[in-house]
Amino acid sequence: MKAEFELTIATPLSVGSFDPNLVDRHFYIRPTSVKGIWRWWARAFALGALFEAGCPDMKAAAGLVAKWGFGTTGAASAYRITVEVREPPQVKTVRRRQRSGIQRLDLVALSRDVEYAVGGRFVLRVEGGGRYFDHAMRILAVALTLSGVGKGSRKSLGVLDVTAARGDAPRERSARDLIEAVKREAGRDAACTGKAQRGELPPAPAVARDAFEVYSARAGFQEVHGFFLRPNRARAASGSYSAPDPMDHMAWFFGLPRSQKGTGYMSPGEGRGSERGKELRRASAVFAAAHGDRHVYGRGTYISIFLSLDWPEQLKWVGGSGTRTIRIDAAAVRKARDLFLQLVQSRWGLQRVWP
């Protein structure tokens, strides 16, 4: 079986090469980068099905991902990916200490030039077999719709528009229909063994009711990408870049590390005048993906939110007004989600896509 997806780079893509800040002219879109997000979403669907069945076990989720043909450390994937360049993209450069308005790239450009790619035409081909091929292609279509690839892929960087889908590619034409189709198939495989253990939230990001939601937004790339940066949130909420963060000590929801020069969110053992402990790392719970009008699985901007418990139980916030201890549990995760939605609901005209 073979599926073909014709692609164009909708938002700045920075995947890197031998030098992570340069565009690889041989592999503008790396197959390994696509495989990475594809497998990530497969695990999220697997864990979501198990969570809804009452047994959100990480090992069982890995077993489902392997069953669906994504391979394991000891077995190859059932799917082969290739990317053909039909028309090279534009390669642009953010010069050292210049500002482009692309937050993630401006941060890198504080110390050196960084390149990114936009546009172009590509064909992503997936070949394989087995009973789960259609299922896997739907997961891939979801991944390409709700996230990007490369640096800042959760912040609407590296978003790829699917401008045509051929062969054994999914026939669904909306994010909602794709998610529902994947969940139906995943649910049939999510058989629990032993006593079901129901928790408030899953142990990791999972596509499940009460733990995952998707919205469409009337906002473009620059606006949604910039919202992950505190000054832009402050200006959007109050008109001033220097105003307090409207997320009110809950910006950890956008990912860790989130500290600079001894201030921000950090582990309890870090801070001014203390020995630096292990750096906390946790990606954003919010995904943004701004598509153009030609994306066949639904044009426009998507905002996806995952609610899960894979956060540090405790953080320390250090700022000009002092220090605060922040405890993160299921209630805190939901409160951060609610505040984020409150801030952007009317501004971005959010409309529920799923569930």
Residues 160, 7: Cα–Cα separation, whole Å: 6
Residues 44, 16: Cα–Cα separation, whole Å: 26
| pLDDT on residue 135 | 97
Given a contact cutoff of 8 angstroms between Cβ atoms, the answer to whether 69 and 77 are in contact is yes
Phi and psi dihedrals of 35, rounded to 5?
A: -60, -35
Domain assignment present for 271: no
DSSP 101: S
CATH number at residue 71: 3.30.70
Residues 278, 221: Cα–Cα separation, whole Å: 33
Domain assignment present for 239: no
Phi and psi dihedrals of 244, rounded to 5?
A: -60, 155
Residues 61, 66: Cα–Cα separation, whole Å: 9
Residues 35, 309: Cα–Cα separation, whole Å: 25
Domain assignment present for 79: yes
Domain assignment present for 298: no
**C-alpha Rg value of the chain to the nearest Å:** 20
Domain assignment present for 279: no
Q: Which candidate, 50, 67, 66, 44, places its Cα nearest to that of 194?
A: 50
Using the structure block, give the residue that is written with the tokens 């053909």.
Answer: 84
Residues 250, 168: Cα–Cα separation, whole Å: 43
Number of domains forming the structure of the chain: 1
Range of the domain at 12: 2-205
| pLDDT on residue 196 | 47
Residues 231, 221: Cα–Cα separation, whole Å: 17
What is the residue-wise DSSP string for 200-233? SS-SS----TTTEEEEEES--HHHHHHTTSHHHH
Domain assignment present for 140: yes
Domain assignment present for 347: no
Domain assignment present for 104: yes
Q: Which candidate, 120, 71, 87, 93, places its Cα nearest to that of 21?
A: 93
For the chain, which ranges sit under pLDDT 70?
Answer: 16-17, 97, 101, 108-109, 193-199, 258-262, 269-279
| pLDDT on residue 274 | 39
| pLDDT on residue 44 | 98
